[in-house]
Structures are given as C-alpha cells and as structure tokens.
Amino acid sequence: MNFVDDRLDVISDEIDVFGSGVLGLTIKCAKCHSHKYDPIPQRDYYRLAAIFKGAYDEHDWLMPQHAGDGGKVMATRYLPYVMPGATPVQLMAEEGKREAFNRDLDREIGLVKAALEQKAEPIKKKLLDQKLAQLPPALHEDLRRMLVTPPDKRNELEKYLAEKFERILKIEPEELKRSEAGYKKEAEESERQIKLLEFRKLPEPRIRGLWDRGVPSPSYILRRGDPASFGRLVGPGVPSVLTDGKTPFEVQPPWPGSSKTGRRLALARWLIRPDHPLTSRVMVNRIWKHHFGTGIVKTLANFGNTGARPTHSELLDWLASEFVRQGWSIKSMHRLMMTSSTYRQNSTVTPVLEKMDPENLLLSRMPLKRMEAEVLNDTLLLISGRLDETPYGVPEPVLVRDDGLVTPIETEKGMRRSIYVAQRRTDTPTILENFDLPPMSPNCVERNVSTVAPQALHLMNNAMIHKLAEAFAGRVQKEAGADPENQIATAYWLALSRPPTDEEKKISLETLNRLRTEQAKQWLAKAKAEQKAEALPAGPKADVSPKLSAANTEPQEATSSALSKFCHTLMNSGAFLYID
C-alpha cells in the first residue's frame, strides 16, 4: 500500500491551515497549477511545502510504533531531551509519583469490583443451581469442583468436563443483570465508577510534538498535484508576492553544528519581521472579530483580491502596529479593545443611529453577539456553582447516554471547563454540538452562528440544564436568603452581571409568587394523595393544609422548585445568551 498520497494530503492540510489561519490567504488552489490572475503561483506552493518538509517528509514519515512506548523507542533519534534542565533524579521522582497515584486508583478499582462480586455471589449460585438441575445429579459435585479450580491446575477429568460443560455453565455479566433488576442498577453504577477511576489514571509521560529530523528528501513541483508526476526541483521559500523580490529567504541551522534544517525557524522569523505586517493584521482582525462579531476585514481567511475590503483600514494598521509594539501580546490586545469606548457601548438601536448607520459598519452601537458553545456551557456551570476550575490534566471523558445525548461526566467538584472535555468527532457533547461547535477538519476559519430549534429545546428540556437550574437556585438561596427581592437581585447579578430594572423586578416578583403558589398547590395535592395511599386517618389534624395556613408559609419544596423554575427561565433568556 502506498501511503505517500495520504501523507501529501496531511501536508496540504497543514499549508491550508497556515495560509488561512496565519497569512489570511487562500493558498490551496495553487496546488495543482498556477492561475492566470492569482499572484501565488504553483512554484510558491511547493516552496512553502518544502519549508515544512523538514518535519513533514512524505518519504521519511514517523511510524506510529516509533512514537509509542512513552518515547522510549528510538528516543535518541526522535527526542533530543525530555524536558529542559531535568535531571535523572527528578524524572525518576515524577515517575514514582505517577506510579503511586495509579496504584491508589487500582486499589479503589479493586474494592469496587470486590464489592460488586460479593453482591453477585448469591445470584450466581442461584443461576448455577438452575443450570445444574438440567444435568445428571452424578455430575454436580465434579462440575462444581471444576468451576472453582484454575484452568492450569485441573486434572484430566476436570479438563474434560470443562471442554464439554464450561461454556454452558458460564454465567455472563449480562445474564446476572437480566436476572435481578436491583443488581443491574448496582452493576451499572459500579461500571461507571470503574470507568471514571480508569480514566483518572495518569498516562506514561508523552508529548505530541513536531521537529526537524535531519536533511529531508528533495522537493519537486507536482504536475496537476499528482504525486507520481514530478516537475521542477524547488527549494524552501515563501510566497513571492509577499517579498520585495530582492531579499532571499535565508535558511540557517538553529545553532552551529545542528543537524536540523532550520526551515521552520526561518519561516517563523520571516513572519514577524518589522516589514511584514500581514501576520499582525490577520491576528488583530481575528481578535476584533471575537469581540465585535465581525472583523475589520470581514473575510478572516482571505485578505487577497477576492476578499472583503477593510471597513477601517487605518484602524487595522494602527492595531497591527500596536500589537507588535506590545510584544505580540494577545492579552494586551484584548485589554485594549475591551476597555475602549466602542466596546463599552450598549446595543440599543435608536432611530437616529439606524438612519445614520443601518448596518452598524461604523460601530455606532455594540453588536449583539451570542456566546460561543464553550463559553455558554462554562457560564451555565459557573452561575450554578458546578464549574470545576481545576486546570490542566488529561481530558475528561464524556458519557453517551441511552437516549443518544452526549454529556460530560461530573467530577467530585462538578464539571470541568469545555476546553478540558474530551472531544471526538462521533462523541461531541450535545450542548456544544447544538450551539455550533465546529469540526476541525482540518481547521475552522470562522464559526457558523445558527438559530435552530434544537438549541431552544436543549435549554428548555435537557435534564442536565434542569439540574444546573436547581443548583443555580440553591446558590441564590444560600447567598440571598429567603427574601424574594434579594433572590431576584442575586440571580440577575450572577446570570447577567447587572441588577434588574424596576420593570424586570416587578415582573420577576409576580412570576416568582405565581410559581410558588402553583408549586405549593401541587405539593399539597401530592401530600394528600400520599396520605390517602398510606390509609392515614382523615380529619383536620391529618390534613397538611391547616398546617400550611397556620404557619403562613409554603412548603420548602414548593419555594425551592419555584425559584429553580425562575432561574431556569433566566438561563433561557436572550439577555443571558447574548453579549450586548
């Protein structure tokens, strides 16, 4: 099998990601041939591919088995060191900590398995007796002895019986679950605990890295992009349209005597040259889009002839130069934009502004922007007090439920931020998928923002959202006490970062009182039904209604349920979902 074609596709994806993400240019179209009106010829495409060939060489690809075993296999060829300045003693100490941590988890797993096995023993005995009853009584004693004897210690008779009857007498886990409903529930819970404990185990120290591995194979222009049709030999270089045509692309080893090509280092240095502002323009345009919903150049990945013109070219140039002046600090650029008077505007549309700037191209008002999928998920967890803020570590597993929904698994502290949740193409958490989390194939230049029914249905009906609403209500009760006005104000501050207006406060109080009354009626009806079912004596002393009237309060369950529904409504509001 020839894997070169697949490897060239990987390199093509890398160039596509680099072009659209870093340069803001569409380069992929030059792979097969030059275009008459395109300033990037086919030659430049393969010169760029030659830069990456120091690490991505289709004829000298790193095999999977070389990458395994924690980097121990052929480590001298592929990994010059594990970590800067690490001594063997430090590495051994870290490895010892990892092994001790995993041993503790193995011990916990063993306890869970032992407890489940103990509960399964009487059920196994019952099922085994049923199966033995169908066989001749003379064999029962020998068969029981055979089943408890390890395979390597069985005598000839036991081996014969095992060959004939072991498969019939073997009791599968699913058979145990089918036989006892109570055991099935306990077994599934134990399996969930074991899965969580297994996932928490620390893996062998590995890194996913990319590095030059010596002199790469020659680079050729591929006619029509065909891997079997070689054209002219080319060297590493950058798109000629982005150079002055005089200064050559210089490639030097990273340090004297190094066997590395230095090609990617030369590319990195070229990207941040003072006379090459394209990189900084593309980056600040993306940051601007993140905050204001639309970039100064609307086509984020296309700064070329077919892309959109900048709406404020002088502003883009100033931001790009300021970005470089501040040491390419993304945090500083976020601070600069978010503390500007433009960002701090409200989104109110007035007749005057609508007439002067109908499309808001001049940013006469703050554009409404819905929270991204990860931000929405994290915010729901944050306001409910269920956000586990533990940083770093391995990805948290997801649970594929019987109804097809995919949810993150809850830890002792809650649920972790979306960035730490494991994401697979087939098992994307449902809330992230519904709110437009993009598939990275190979990358996402700009997210789609859709408004579809599953989004509203998820926030209204999903069990996890209702659970978070209950936690949100519990947090509000804890911080605000029993006063409804304080509860409403606290809920608004937590969810919207502002107090309610007078009109919102009035409507919220009416809603909360109505919900509390409805929930109290339901609670009383349920209590009466339970009393009737238990055949309690009737009469005024047995009725809970007089108790309620005498205390002049609703049951605690009704109050909590009403506040939970109010918090759930707030979580579904446009004011919560949109940044204005």
Instruction: Using the predicted structure, report yes or no on whether residue 553 has a pLDDT greater than 60.
Output: no
| Rounded mean pLDDT, 496-520 | 92
pLDDT (0 to 100) of residue 208: 67
pLDDT (0 to 100) of residue 409: 83
CA distance 180 to 118: 14
pLDDT (0 to 100) of residue 269: 93
pLDDT (0 to 100) of residue 59: 83
Contacts of residue 316, defined as CB under 8 A and 6 or more positions apart, other chains included, come to 281, 284, 285, 296, 297, 310
| Rounded mean pLDDT, 275-287 | 93
| Rounded mean pLDDT, 402-416 | 83
pLDDT tens per residue, range 185-202:
888 889 888 888 888 887
Element (H, E) at 94: helix 88-132
| Rounded mean pLDDT, 431-447 | 87
Whether the bond into 442 is cis, omega within 30 of 0: yes
pLDDT (0 to 100) of residue 180: 82
Q: Kindly list the distances between the CA atom of residue 404 and the CA atoms of 198, 414, 456, 462, 512, in Å, as whole numbers in the listed order.
A: 23, 22, 18, 12, 34
Range with lowest mean pLDDT among 279-293, 336-350, 389-403: 389-403
pLDDT (0 to 100) of residue 367: 92
pLDDT (0 to 100) of residue 183: 84
| Top-confidence residue, 467 or 35 | 467
Residues 33, 75 contacting (CB under 8 angstroms): no
pLDDT (0 to 100) of residue 168: 82
What pLDDT band is residue 94 in, cutting at 50, 70 and 90?
A: low
| Top-confidence residue, 573 or 184 | 573
Element (H, E) at 470: helix 463-480
Range with lowest mean pLDDT among 59-73, 366-380, 518-532: 59-73
pLDDT (0 to 100) of residue 205: 64
pLDDT (0 to 100) of residue 524: 80
Percentage with pLDDT > 70 across the chain: 89
- Please state, rounded to an integer, the average pLDDT across all residues of the chain: 85
Most confident of 13-27, 137-151, 489-503: 489-503
Is this structure's pTM higher than 0.75? no
| Top-confidence residue, 226 or 92 | 226
Instruction: Using the predicted structure, report yes or no on whether residue 74 has a pLDDT greater than 50.
Output: no
pLDDT (0 to 100) of residue 160: 84
Q: Which burial class, exposed, middle or buried, applies to 134 when counting CB atoms under 10 A from its CB (0-12, 13-18, 19+)?
A: exposed
Phi (first) and psi of residue 259, to 5 degrees: -90, 0
| Top-confidence residue, 156 or 459 | 459
pLDDT (0 to 100) of residue 73: 40
b/e map of 80-96 (b: 16 or more CB within 10 Å)?
eeeeeeeeeeeeeeeee
Task: Name the residue with tokens 């070219």.
Answer: 313
| CB-side neighbour CA atoms (13 Å) of 443 | 15
Residues in the chain, total: 580
Q: Kindly list the distances between the CA atom of residue 306 and the CA atoms of 263, 309, 338, in Å, as whole numbers in the listed order.
A: 30, 9, 30
pLDDT tens per residue, range 447-493:
889 999 999 999 999 999 999 999 999 999 999 999 999 999 999 99
Instruction: Using the predicted structure, report yes or no on whether residue 75 has a pLDDT greater than 80.
Output: no
Range with lowest mean pLDDT among 33-47, 99-113, 159-173, 551-565: 551-565
pLDDT tens per residue, range 349-406:
889 988 999 988 889 999 999 999 999 999 999 999 999 998 887 788 888 887 788 8
Residues 450, 436 contacting (CB under 8 angstroms): yes
| Rounded mean pLDDT, 85-110 | 76
Q: Minimal CA–CA distance to 369: which of 578, 87, 540?
A: 578
